[in-house]
Structure 1
């Protein structure tokens, strides 16, 4: 079957090829409504499909960006990715979303694959272990934005939470409720992932500000499948923690599963706050107090910053970082003990 061309559409609609081209590129501010309708009808009747590759070569743009998330299982990742997609869709850009599983080798393959497909820019939740590749993109003035994490020595604009503040808000709330033996569990910090380091630092600073001891046995940085073992060690102490800050949504899930398995009542036996406001937090029994990230605002910002870079509105060497304030979502997972009030 003969391929339908732009010339066929023009002939069918009784207009010039340039008019059809203007219509396809949405440059029809001065085009008559009847002309637009004729072209639209011709495209429909002929089944015309624009040659995206040819158009990309001509315009030197694929109108596509790549998003590489560190771990798609995080509620944060899915919500931010959705907001990025919304922002790009409004600008007539498509998105390709890839999941790196916190694996630098997989991240590297996705960066190389997406660049081979000539996407116009990348938004990356970086593993941090592809420094040469990140620097190469900067050296080539290639549009790239980081989300959730920064990489030391790599001046890429990053969209992040005020992570220290997130931990401080949680610890302040625990202490205000009379809790003194406060533990923290985060994901593994072997790779020096910046939000994990910052949340840990915020935890320590908050304890110090309340003149509470920082105890090594109350601090665990482990993989999600090691959380149960970490909790068993903590709860076996002569003075087990009475409150736990879960460093992210996956850790919170493991803490709640541990409590159920060991018949611990949340709030009564163990107070809990999680960083990341997961959907089930509000209807869990009891509802879980969390520190929420403004995920949709962060995703929108990441998309807009990258589009600005693509459109040359900002140069890639400016390196502004964009930090967002967390919000404490007070619910019922922290017991009021009394006797110690801020």
Structure 2
């Protein structure tokens, strides 16, 4: 089939191509309602679809942004993407979501691909090791926002949870419930991923604050595939912990699975608190006490920050914006 062009729309509506172009770009200042109506009807009748690539080349804008998620397996990731997409939809932007699977080389490929597609900006959950790539984007003044993780070597606006405060809330709750031997498990800290490192540090600080022993053998950053083995070695050792903090939702799943498989009663044999209020926490038996992130607010902030950078509006906020966590007390401790 022959592609319907702007010239075809102009001919059908009885106007010039420039008038159709003004209509498509929503420049209605000097356009009468009857003219707008004729163009709208012509577009509908002919089934005209604007060539978005050609328009983006001409206007130097694709009205598209890219979101590169470190690991989309986390419920936090999918929920915050929904919040980001909703905000960009309101602003008439399209969103392309890519999953780096915590692999720096995959993240780099996605950055290259999205730049080739001429996205107007990027929101990245950084894997942390592509420092040269991030700094190159900065040098080119490319609109960029980090989410969930910071990279100290890169000066980019960053939206994060107050991770130390989140871990402190968990320790405080366990301390007030009378637990003394505490541990925290999170994913591997090999690449110094910010939430993992900060939650462990916040956990240690809170234990010292409340006079609880800091048991390094119960404080572990472990690759997820080795998590069951690590939990087992902790739980069968001498004087095992009476409470564990799960550093994120995937770790919580591993702990709950281990407890079920080894017939551990929650909280009688092992108290549990999870950082991230995952969807099943309230209906699990027993219901899981969690530390919730303000996901919608964080996604909204990241999107509005990027829109401001795309519009080259002056940035007045701090480089790192941290949101406080909230304790949701249930029955697992």
Shorter chain as denominator, the TM-score bin is over 0.9
Backbone CA RMSD of aligned residues:
1.5
Note if contact 2:160-2:321 (Cα within 8 Å) is conserved in structure 1: yes
TM-score by length of 1: 0.94
Deviations 1:130-171 (A, max 9, x none): 111011011111111100000112111110000000000000
Note if contact 2:9-2:48 (Cα within 8 Å) is conserved in structure 1: yes
Q: Report the Cα distance in structure 2 between the residues aligned to 1:78 and 1:173, rounded to whole angstroms.
A: 28
Q: Report the Cα distance in structure 1 between the residues aligned to 2:228 and 2:299, rounded to whole angstroms.
A: 32
Q: Report the Cα distance in structure 1 between the residues aligned to 2:290 and 2:35, rounded to whole angstroms.
A: 55
Shift of 1:31: 4.0
Note if contact 1:155-1:319 (Cα within 8 Å) is conserved in structure 2: no
Note if contact 2:64-2:93 (Cα within 8 Å) is conserved in structure 1: yes
Q: What secondary structure does 1:18 align onto?
A: helix
Query: What residue number does 1:339 align with?
Result: none
Note if contact 2:182-2:215 (Cα within 8 Å) is conserved in structure 1: no
TM-score by length of 2: 0.97
Deviations 1:292-318 (A, max 9, x none): 111111111111101110110036x98
Matches within 5 A, 1:319-330: 320-330=319-329
Q: Which runs of 5+ in 1 are unaligned?
A: 335-342
Shift of 1:17: 2.3
Query: What residue number does 1:295 align with?
Result: 295
Query: What residue number does 1:331 align with?
Result: 330
Q: What secondary structure does 1:279 align onto?
A: coil
Query: What residue number does 2:314 align with?
Result: 314
Shift of 1:54: 1.4
Query: What residue number does 2:197 align with?
Result: 197
Change (3 A) 1:29 1:277: farther
Query: What residue number does 2:74 align with?
Result: 74
Matches within 5 A, 1:87-166: 87-166=87-166
Deviations 1:204-224 (A, max 9, x none): 000000111111121111112
Q: Which runs of 5+ in 2 are unaligned?
A: none
Which structure would you say has the larger RCO, counting Cα contacts within 8 Å and 6 or more residues apart? 1
Query: What residue number does 1:39 align with?
Result: 39
Query: What residue number does 1:272 align with?
Result: 272
Q: How many residues align?
A: 333
Q: What secondary structure does 1:280 align onto?
A: coil
